[in-house]
């Protein structure tokens, strides 16, 4: 077995994995309890993924009866994912994990690990961002990370800047020891969260998390929009604040992840799907990307783009009409007021009318 372990490390590091550990495949009982607690508290919101079936997500034997071990791998997406650079008018920002398909190197690394196991005659299956496994729990048990208060799995060298996955196998490999480390007295991520979604016990209230709303269908609550900033997809605020990740983050100097939102609003559905094919887009409906762009323009939009945003007051689903109204209320100016006032006279949907009224009131209060 030691020989296979050496080959696993060789294959993993040779294909870009920066961490590799092995743990048993016993059910993650405490994680199951934690998921149930979050669901009961309403903190998992309408999350599907692992929350669709927590029992399966925390017990790998329900998917692979033969699984005896999980070989857990990590990649880092820095420094390649770079920095969004200074805020720019009419430009949104993509969180670093999604500036391109950073899961691809992880997929490659895990497949080469699987290859070693299969060529030694063992069954092996790759699980990566899969509903059948809580990746961070496996990483913590396999000793390649510790569980941070931001809920991120942290590693000493890369902090929170990793993506995680596993290979389930029947090979009874020797396991690695969990890491003897924790966040200590640090609480930096908690005040750094723009929406107060984190607490000192390491609970994330997903219903207050910007990253959650960027991937959810429907209307984004106004309180979340207020804190949204110029984000288009994902949020890195609790990762940016994390001291163990600072040194590694400091090496990411290239600019990446800025998106021209006006250009985005002019793309067709097919063009949006193609350009952002590595994003999780709810119901595969690109209207959700336009919605996110409108919310970001509420923070970074200039008065010149009012006609483009105003175009959304009349066309498209109520979700877009509402978010366009909100954005115009924030951008302000006489052209925005005119567009809002004219739309409110014609709007038939009561919820959208209320957004239009709210936007007009906020323009007047703000003295724009
Ligand atoms: C649902 C989900 C989300 C949801 C909810 C996240 C959450 N914190 O619960 C949303 C959409 C908000 C989200 C956001 C993000 N996500 Co996400 N997400 C997932 C997904 C699909 C499932 C996570 C899950 O079910 N967790 C259940 C909870 C209970 O467990 P956990 O927090 O993940 O794990 C910890 C607990 O189990 C804890 N634990 C263990 N025992 C006990 C006992 C007790 C009592 C307690 C309290 C806790 C505890 O230790 C674990 C390790 O930290 C995973 C992929 C996967 N299949 O696992 C990716 C994943 C967690 N996401 C990931 C990433 C990168 C992100 C973002 C950084 C993206 C971004 N920049 O916007 C943000 C980070 C937000 C944050 N602070 O967590 C990475 C995290 C990598 C890492 N190094 O930690 C994952 C692992 C994807 C991957 N394959 O790499 N995500
Ligand atoms: S991803 Fe953003 S909104 Fe979500 S917990 Fe972290 S800082 Fe808060
Ligand atoms: S910011 Fe501090 S408390 Fe939060 S996860 Fe990082 S080390 Fe832990």
Q: Which tens digits make up the pLDDT trace of 146-174?
A: 999 999 999 999 999 999 999 999 999 99
Listed in sequence order, the residues at least 6 apart from 210 whose beta carbon sits closer than 8 Å to its beta carbon are 194, 195, 224, 227, 228, 231, 235, 237
Q: Same structural domain for residues 276 and 153?
A: no
Statement: residue 179 has pLDDT above 60: yes
Q: Same structural domain for residues 193 and 156?
A: no
The per-residue pLDDT for range 90-114, each reduced to its tens digit, is 999 999 999 999 999 999 999 999 9
Other Cβ atoms closer than 10 A to 163: 19
The CB of 287 under 6 Å from ligand 2? The reply is no
Q: Same structural domain for residues 40 and 134?
A: yes
Residue/partner pairs of 274-283 with CB below 8 Å, 24 or more apart: 276/233, 277/101, 278/98, 278/100, 278/101, 278/103, 279/98, 279/233, 280/215, 282/215, 282/216, 282/217, 283/217
Q: Which DSSP string do the residues of 84-131 spell out, in sequence order? A: --S--TTEEEE-GGGTTTTHHHHHHHHHHHHHHHHHTT--EEEEES-T
The per-residue pLDDT for range 265-319, each reduced to its tens digit, is 999 999 999 999 999 999 999 999 999 999 999 999 999 999 999 999 988 899 9
Q: Same structural domain for residues 165 and 233?
A: no
Q: Give a yes or no: residue 15 inside a domain.
A: yes
CATH of the domain at 17: 3.40.109
Q: Residue 277's domain spans which residues?
A: 189-366
Q: Same structural domain for residues 165 and 194?
A: no
From the centroid of its chain, how far is CA 260?
20
Q: In what order do the strands lie in the sheet with 231-233?
A: 231-233, 91-94, 258-260
Element (H or E) spanning 175, and its range? none
Q: Give a yes or no: residue 12 inside a domain.
A: yes
Q: Give the residue among 156, 154, 161 at the shortest CA–CA distance from 139.
A: 154
Q: Same structural domain for residues 213 and 338?
A: yes
Q: What is the pLDDT of residue 1?
A: 75
DSSP H helical ranges for the chain: 2-14, 29-41, 54-57, 103-119, 135-141, 189-192, 210-213, 222-227, 237-240, 246-250, 261-265, 269-275, 287-300, 306-311, 318-331, 334-346, 350-366
- In the predicted model, what is the mean pLDDT of residues 347-356? 96
Q: Give the residue among 349, 341, 299 at the shortest CA–CA distance from 320.
A: 349
Q: What is the pLDDT of residue 364?
A: 74
Q: Same structural domain for residues 37 and 121?
A: yes
Q: Give a yes or no: residue 182 inside a domain.
A: no
Residue/partner pairs of 45-54 with CB below 8 Å, 24 or more apart: 45/206, 45/207, 45/212, 45/216, 46/216, 47/206, 47/212, 48/131, 49/131, 50/131, 50/133, 50/134, 52/131, 53/131
Beta bridge partners of 198: 204
Statement: residue 368 has pLDDT above 60: no
Q: Give a yes or no: residue 184 inside a domain.
A: no
Q: Give a yes or no: residue 92 inside a domain.
A: no
Q: Which of 151, 157, 183 has the most ligand 1 atoms within 8 A of CB, as the residue to mutate?
A: 151
Q: Same structural domain for residues 144 and 291?
A: no
Q: How many residues are recorded in the chain?
A: 368
The per-residue pLDDT for range 244-279, each reduced to its tens digit, is 999 999 999 999 999 999 999 999 999 999 999 999
**Can you tell me which atom of ligand 1 is nearest the CA of 38?**
29
Q: What is the pLDDT of residue 315?
A: 80
Mean pLDDT taken over the chain: 96
DSSP H helical ranges for 170-245: 189-192, 210-213, 222-227, 237-240
Q: Same structural domain for residues 117 and 207?
A: no
Contact between 93 and 230 under an 8 Å Cβ cutoff? The reply is yes
Contact between 162 and 75 under an 8 Å Cβ cutoff? The reply is yes
Q: Same structural domain for residues 203 and 67?
A: no
Q: Find the 83 Cα to ligand 1 centroid distance in Å.
A: 22
CATH of the domain at 344: 1.25.10
Q: Which of 18, 48, 134, 248 has the most ligand 1 atoms within 8 A of CB, as the residue to mutate?
A: 134
Q: Same structural domain for residues 103 and 227?
A: no
The CB of 129 under 6 Å from ligand 1? The reply is yes
Q: Give a yes or no: residue 183 inside a domain.
A: no
The per-residue pLDDT for range 20-52, each reduced to its tens digit, is 999 999 999 999 999 999 999 999 999 999 999
The per-residue pLDDT for range 187-210, each reduced to its tens digit, is 999 999 999 999 988 899 999 999
The CB of 235 under 6 Å from ligand 2? The reply is yes
Q: Give a yes or no: residue 90 inside a domain.
A: no
Number of domains in the chain: 2
Q: Give a yes or no: residue 86 inside a domain.
A: no
Q: Same structural domain for residues 216 and 348?
A: yes
- Can you read off the two tokens belonging to residue 342? 């004219």
Q: Give the residue among 47, 44, 56, 57 at the shortest CA–CA distance from 203.
A: 44
Q: Find the 269 Cα to ligand 1 centroid distance in Å.
A: 30
User: What pLDDT band is residue 366 in, cutting at 50, 70 and 90?
Assistant: low
């Amino acid at each position: 077995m030691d020989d296979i372990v050496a080959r696993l490390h060789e294959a993993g590091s040779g294909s870009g994995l920066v961490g590799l550990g092995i743990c048993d495949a016993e059910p993650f009982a405490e994680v199951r309890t934690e998921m149930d607690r979050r669901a009961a508290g309403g903190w998992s919101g309408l999350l599907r993924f692992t929350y669709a079936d927590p029992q399966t997500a925390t017990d790998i034997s329900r998917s692979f009866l033969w699984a005896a071990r999980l070989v857990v791998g990590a990649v880092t997406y820095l420094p390649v994912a770079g920095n969004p650079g200074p805020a720019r008018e009419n430009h949104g920002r993509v969180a670093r994990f999604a500036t391109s398909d950073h899961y691809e190197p992880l997929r490659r690394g895990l497949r080469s690990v699987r290859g070693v196991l299969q060529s030694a005659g063992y069954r092996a299956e790759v699980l990566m961002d899969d509903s059948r496994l809580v990746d961070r729990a496996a990483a913590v048990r396999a000793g390649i990370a510790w569980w941070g208060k931001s809920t991120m799995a942290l590693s000493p060298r890369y902090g929170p800047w990793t993506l995680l996955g596993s290979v389930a196998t029947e090979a009874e490999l020797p396991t690695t020891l969990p890491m003897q480390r924790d966040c200590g007295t640090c609480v930096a991520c908690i005040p750094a969260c723009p929406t107060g979604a984190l607490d000192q016990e390491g609970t994330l209230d997903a219903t207050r998390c910007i990253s959650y709303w960027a991937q959810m269908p429907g209307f984004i609550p106004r309180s979340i929009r207020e804190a949204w900033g110029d984000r288009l997809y994902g949020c890195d605020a609790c990762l940016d604040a994390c001291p163990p990740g600072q040194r590694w983050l400091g090496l990411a100097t290239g600019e990446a992840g800025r998106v021209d939102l006006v250009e985005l609003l002019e793309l067709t559905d097919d063009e949006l799907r193609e350009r952002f094919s590595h994003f999780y887009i709810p119901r595969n409906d690109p209207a959700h990307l336009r919605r996110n762009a409108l919310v970001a323009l509420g923070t970074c939009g200039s008065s010149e783009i009012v006609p483009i945003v105003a175009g959304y007051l009349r066309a498209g689903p109520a979700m877009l009409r509402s978010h366009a109204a909100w954005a115009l209320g924030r951008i302000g100016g006489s052209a925005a007021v005119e567009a809002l006032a004219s739309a409110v006279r014609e709007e038939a949907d009561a919820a959208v009318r209320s957004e239009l009224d709210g936007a007009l009131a906020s323009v007047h209060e703000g003295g724009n």
